[in-house]
Structure 1
Amino acid sequence: MIKEMKSTEELKEAFVVMRELRPNLDEETYLEYVNEAREKGSYHLYALYEEGEIVAVIGFSPMITLYYGRSIWVYDLVTRKEDRSKGYGKALLSFVEQWAVDDNYTTIALSSGMQRYDAHRFYEEKMSYNKVSYVFKKEL
């Protein structure tokens, strides 16, 4: 079952999995960021449940840019470490792809850390995504 996380309790439940991808965040900061991203950036957070437990989460925002046009940016995608390679990431990304098609978005994009070789293989080989650019970052 895939379900959007809306309430504070649901968001807290999802944090257990999200912190595997975002270990720099404590629960309070995570809740603050998610709520602000929902208000300002149309952020959506969905969880995939298996036998009543969250095993994977995906966070994304619809947007319109001159480069991508009507697009979806996937900010977060993580499966619990013990549940990887079971198809949960593919199920969530496919769900977002269908969400995008249903709402007339034409592109999905994401960024993945340079060191995440397994994730890169997943995006390219299992999900047919193409590497199209580097992402540059500057801390202020």
Structure 2
Amino acid sequence: MTTPPPRTAALHEVPLGDPRVTADVGPLIRALRPALDEKAFEAFADEAQAQGLVFTAAYDEAGHCLGVAAHRVLATSRGRILFVDDLVTDPDRRSTGTGALLLAALKTRARQEGCVRVELDSGVTNQGAHRFYHRHGLTIGALHFAVEV
């Protein structure tokens, strides 16, 4: 059962050192990335935020965190991009508009930052996310390759 859509949701940047990083952002990112335990998440958050990662969180009227986008601006040979490391909605509140709200905010921020596009990676088996991204105008522009070292 999903929770009804929020009547209003407020977006907040959650900066380094803010207790909401561990209380609100961490549990949602860890739901998406189960290999991260609490300590590993905190180490990641500290290092990544020092490198420019921004957490944007959506909160309902009661102060519950509905979803989080982790993103950063990167200068690439393809132009300046807003790269989304993670975009996650509370599993109990999916399909309520939170993901769309966050994605719209990311597109706006990208324009404000002089970016040519928003980019993200999505696991090849995450078909629900793929449908969401396609519905919101994202296209598959590349394949991402990796090797463990």
* Equivalent-residue separation in structure 1 for 2:18 and 2:58 (angstroms): 17
> Partner of 1:90: helix, strand, or coil?
helix
Partner of 1:109: 119
* 3-state secondary structure, aligned to 1:101: helix
Gaps of 5+ in 2: 1-9
- Counterpart-to-counterpart distance in 2, 1:31 and 1:83: 24
Aligned residues: 137
In the alignment, structure 1 residue 5 sits paired with structure 2 residue 49? no
Counterpart of 1:132? 141
1: CA distance, partners of 2:147 / 2:72: 22
Q: Does 1:46 align with 2:56?
A: yes
- Please give the secondary structure, in 2, of the residue aligned with 1:61: strand
1:16 Cα deviation from its structure 2 partner: 1.7
After TM superposition, give the deviation of residue 8 of structure 1 in Å. Answer: 4.2
**Equivalent residue for 1:79?**
89
How big is the shift at 1:18?
A: 1.4
Aligned-CA RMSD value: 1.0
* Counterparts of 1:38 and 1:79, CA distance in 2: 20
Higher RCO (Cα < 8 Å, 6 or more apart): 2
Task: Give the structure-1-normalised TM-score.
Answer: 0.93
User: More helix by proportion, 1 or 2?
Assistant: 1
Runs of at least 5 residues in structure 1 that lack an aligned partner in the other structure: none
When normalised by structure 2's length, the TM-score is: 0.88
Structure 2: distance between partners of 1:52 and 1:38:
23
